[in-house]
Amino acid sequence: MRVLLVEDEAALADQLALALGASGYAVDRADDGRRAEFLGSTERYDAIVLDLGLPSMDGLTLLRRWRDTGVTAPVLVLTARGTWHDKVLGIDSGADDYVSKPFQMEEVLARLRALIRRSSGFASPVLRNGNLVLDPRSARVTLNGALVRLTTHEFRVLSYLMHHGGRVVSQSELVEHIYERDADRDSNTVEVFIARLRKKVGTNAIVTVRGLGYRMGEA
């Protein structure tokens, strides 16, 4: 799963990026409104974490522009503004949830998981496919109750497929959602990750739909 982090305070942005990466997300960063507007409008993200107090363009204006141009990714707003009026403005501008500074990192991660889960149509905090269970809260995968050890990219591939379990996901879509923007994106490596995952979670767990991509099967 891929996240855009928009925060101009460098130390906080570093902490957030570290926590997001440790939770299995591919993270792109922007530290001003103009850069964030470009990335949010041209790249496909599973969620956006947005600070409102930004240079060059404030977060509310940025959020309205995204929504006006059809950006549908769920947005979690981070801000030092804590009044109910500010929260209403943020939600009316297109935010999906709101966390006031200072905050606990665990709360940010929990709210982000909830946004992604709801946008994918899931109510449960864990994703299940037969005996295969993926818990985004701990970035853990189990099969028949036993822990499955995955690399970062294997986890991202499996997480994206399970979040979109009823749908065929193309190879190019997977590439867009498992790598950061500046990473060396090689679509051939997706086949490698799929092959490794099948060895770890079962050959029938991920089905190849010829000419279209992959979908979850039976674990």
pLDDT in the model for residue 83: 65
pLDDT in the model for residue 88: 78
Q: Kindly report, residue by residue over 149-201, the tens digit of the pLDDT.
A: 999 999 999 999 999 988 999 999 999 999 988 777 777 789 999 999 999 99
pLDDT in the model for residue 82: 63
Minimum mean pLDDT range among 11-25, 122-136, 142-156: 122-136
What is the mean pLDDT of the segment spanning 123-135? 91
pLDDT in the model for residue 80: 79
Half-sphere exposure of 127 (CA within 13 A, CB side): 28
Contact 76, 115 (CB under 8 A): yes
Sign of the alpha-carbon torsion through 37, 170, 180, 127: positive
Element (H, E) at 13: helix 10-22
Does domain 2-119 fall into CATH 3.40.50.2300? yes
Contacts of residue 32, defined as CB under 8 A and 6 or more positions apart, other chains included, come to 8, 54, 55, 56, 57
- pLDDT-derived band at 81, boundaries 50, 70, 90: low
Locus of tokens 């982090």: 5
From the list 40, 81, 92, 44, the residue with the least C-alpha distance to 62 is 40
pLDDT in the model for residue 146: 96
Which CATH architecture fits 127-216? Orthogonal Bundle (1.10)
CA 201 to each of CA 143, 153, 175, 191, 193: distance values in angstroms, whole numbers, following the listed order? 7, 15, 21, 15, 12
pLDDT in the model for residue 186: 73
| Three-state secondary structure call for residue 129 | strand
pLDDT in the model for residue 91: 81
What are the extents of the domains in the chain? 2-119, 127-216
From the list 54, 61, 42, the residue with the least C-alpha distance to 6 is 54
What is the mean pLDDT of the segment spanning 81-104? 81
CA 130 to each of CA 37, 133, 177: distance values in angstroms, whole numbers, following the listed order? 40, 8, 24
**Alpha carbons 27 and 115: distance in angstroms, whole number:** 16
Burial class (CB within 10 angstroms; exposed 0-12, middle 13-18, buried 19+) of 150: buried
Q: What is the pTM of this model?
A: 0.84
Give the helix ranges, DSSP H, for 96-170. 105-119, 152-163
**Alpha carbons 15 and 152: distance in angstroms, whole number:** 19
